[in-house]
Amino acid sequence: MKKFLIPIPKESDNKKKSCGKEDLMKILKQNFGFSEFRGKQFEAIEAVLSGKDCFCLMPTGGGKSMCYQIPALAKQGIVLVVCPLIALMENQVMALKEKGIAAEFLSSTQKSRVREKVHEDLSSGKPSLRLLYVTPELIATPGFMSKLTKLYTRGLLNLIAIDEAHCISSWGHDFRPSYRNLSSLRNRLPDVPILALTATAVPKVQKDVMESLCLQHPLILRSSFNRPNIYYEVRFKDLLDDVYTDLSNQLKSGGDTCSIVYCLERTTCDNVSFHLKKNGISCAAYHAGLNNKLRSSVLNDWLCSRIQVVVATVAFGMGIDRKDVRTVCHFNMPKSMEAFYQESGRAGRDQLPSKSLLYYGIDDRNKMAFILSNAGNKKLQSSVSQGDSSKKSLEDFNQMVEYCEGSCCRRKKILEFFGEKVPTSLCRKSCDACKHPNLVAKYLEELKCENGVQGRNRIFMSSYPDTAAEDHFTEFWNRDDEASVSEEDISDSDGTSDFTQDLILLCTVD
């Protein structure tokens, strides 16, 4: 049943009177059931309601969505939300509609009847919509831009929220070329405040985001990246008898709880899912190799707890709000600390104890390093700046290797990466290195011996000429979205390709 929709201030009051803290708390309570603003939510809301630009860096699960959802309810007119994934828009819109909040999204996956209805509402004298979610690809289309401009000239566009704003920076871990289109918004819609939100941005990326979006004297809100409810642990594939049994036991140890297992490739997803099922775990694979219908049913089954574990490629879960994910497991190494933070951060959004489990394997490491240096070499020949970015990818990846091969506090390592000063007391034994230092040291010693043996004996060679390897790499790594690709292809793709097949172990050297 639809819930009560907050009283909208009379239109005549709308421009004169902005909501005070009490009114905003009432909106929060009545629509979302929360009694307090969390972290810097209130500051962000207040800033955008007063027409200021705002850059908001909050940890994963910190409650960034509220920073644009509350303003949407506090003022008549539309809040435009830019999102990188269709699944994420669907998820948020569905949750808002359940609360009786007028929200819609626009994408090419919708029936044209639904899209027309949204457009009709937007062009009516008094749109009932409060939140409109779109992809950056749609913003780039002239048709949509002209509709936005009309809304703007009628004074109905209150705020533009750019979610996952780090995607705009080519220095960020999830660069989406289509996010670059957003830099035109300021010129075309000059007085509309822009709110950029992200959970992962090193200082260089923060600056890039603010400059690209042409934010004017933005209020910059930064919260600590620390996620105290997440326990961090690395498990060493090379020291385990059977990694699937180990993973199954880990997942079972917390009871039949909700988890995500991330794999690098689609075939690994299928394979891991097969083994977990065999071990009695209710799970399914999710990746771009499955058709839309199947993917959507896996997502729904997982969201409704019909299955507990999703084994997916990395795009799964971005911004999807299932609060009670107890374990996020990386079955293969993430490509960078930023990616790792973002992905592992999908655990414990309800602030209850949760776990980040990373399976580190020497083969995985070598494979990734090979791909990166191969792409890097090739790019160096063609362009210095591209070469630089490949070099950066290698450096980013090395940070992850250090995280796995280090014996110091994992939490400290993550937070220092994001430029935070971390007192040693912060972790309180909530990572394996702090809780079991002797065991971790022993594993690392054993791994060193393994590494020595494997490092001498194996090299990866490509069965493809360099250009092909690079193309595969690019598809996986950067989620390249050229203008020629359709909106849904881009927005729902996980950007992965199975490149294991491209890499064969050609020789074993003594």
Ligand X SMILES: Nc1ncnc2c1ncn2[C@@H]1O[C@H](COP(=O)(O)OP(=O)(O)OP(=O)(O)O)[C@@H](O)[C@H]1O
- The three-state secondary structure class of 503 is strand
Q: Does 29 bind ligand X (CB under 6 A)?
A: no
392-411 footprint of Zn ion as x/- string (CB under 5 A): -----------------x-x
Does 64 contact ligand X by CB under 6 A?
yes
**Minimum CB separation from ligand X for residue 219, in Å?**
17
Q: Which does 334 bind (CB under 5 to 8 A by kind): Zn ion, Mg ion, ligand X, none?
A: none
Q: Which CB, 45 or 427, lies closer to Mg ion?
A: 45
CA distance 266 to 286: 8
Binding mask 102-121 for ligand X (x = CB under 6 A): --------------------
Q: How many CA atoms lie within 13 A of 3 on its CB side?
A: 15
> Which one of the spans 11-19, 123-131, 204-212, 316-324 is the region binding Mg ion (CB under 5 A)?
316-324
Q: Which stretch binds ligand X (CB under 6 A): 61-69, 100-108, 439-447, 457-465?
A: 61-69
H/E segment holding residue 298: helix 292-303
Please give the helix or strand (H or E) that residue 92 lies within, else none.
Answer: helix 86-98
Sign, CA dihedral 111-113-119-122, equals: negative
Cβ distance to ligand X smaller for residue 213 or 409: 213
Of 70, 234, 427, 444, the residue at the interface with Zn ion (CB under 5 A) is 427
Task: Quote the CA–CA distance of 104 and 247 in Å, as a whole number.
Answer: 39
Q: Which listed range, 56-64, 99-107, 183-191, 378-386, lies at the site for ligand X (CB under 6 A)? A: 56-64
Residue 199 partner contact from Mg ion, Zn ion, ligand X, none using kind-dependent CB cut-offs of 5 to 8 Å? ligand X
Phi, psi of 9, rounded to the nearest 5 degrees: -60, 145
Residue 431 contacts which entry, Mg ion, ligand X, Zn ion, none (Cβ below 5-8 A, type-dependent): Zn ion
- The residue at minimum Cβ distance from ligand X is 63
Q: 36 with 132: CB under 8 angstroms?
A: no
Q: How far apart are CA 346 and CA 350, in angstroms?
A: 10
Q: How far apart are CA 16 and CA 13, in angstroms?
A: 5
What DSSP string runs through 310-364? EEE-TTTTTT---TT--EEEESS--SSHHHHHHHHTTS-TTSS-EEEEEEE-HHH
> Is 413 an interacting residue with respect to Zn ion (CB under 5 A)?
no
Type of residue numbered 435: K
Rounded to an integer, what distance in angstroms lies between the CA atom of residue 508 and that of residue 87?
44
Neighbours of 158 (CB within 10 A): 23
Q: Which does 323 bind (CB under 5 to 8 A by kind): ligand X, Zn ion, Mg ion, none?
A: ligand X
Member of 48, 67, 129, 434 binding Zn ion (CB under 5 A):
434
Q: Does 43 bind ligand X (CB under 6 A)?
A: no
Of 58-66, 111-119, 132-140, 144-152, the segment contacting Mg ion by CB under 5 A is: 58-66
**Do the beta carbons of residue 499 and residue 476 sit within 8 Å?**
yes
Of 61 and 193, the one with the shorter C-beta distance to ligand X is: 61
349 binds, among Zn ion, ligand X, Mg ion, none (CB under 5 to 8 A by kind): ligand X
The residue ranges that bind Mg ion (CB under 5 A) are 64, 319
The residue ranges that bind ligand X (CB under 6 A) are 34, 36-38, 41, 58, 60-66, 199, 319, 321, 323, 345, 349
The residue ranges that bind Zn ion (CB under 5 A) are 409, 411, 427, 431, 434
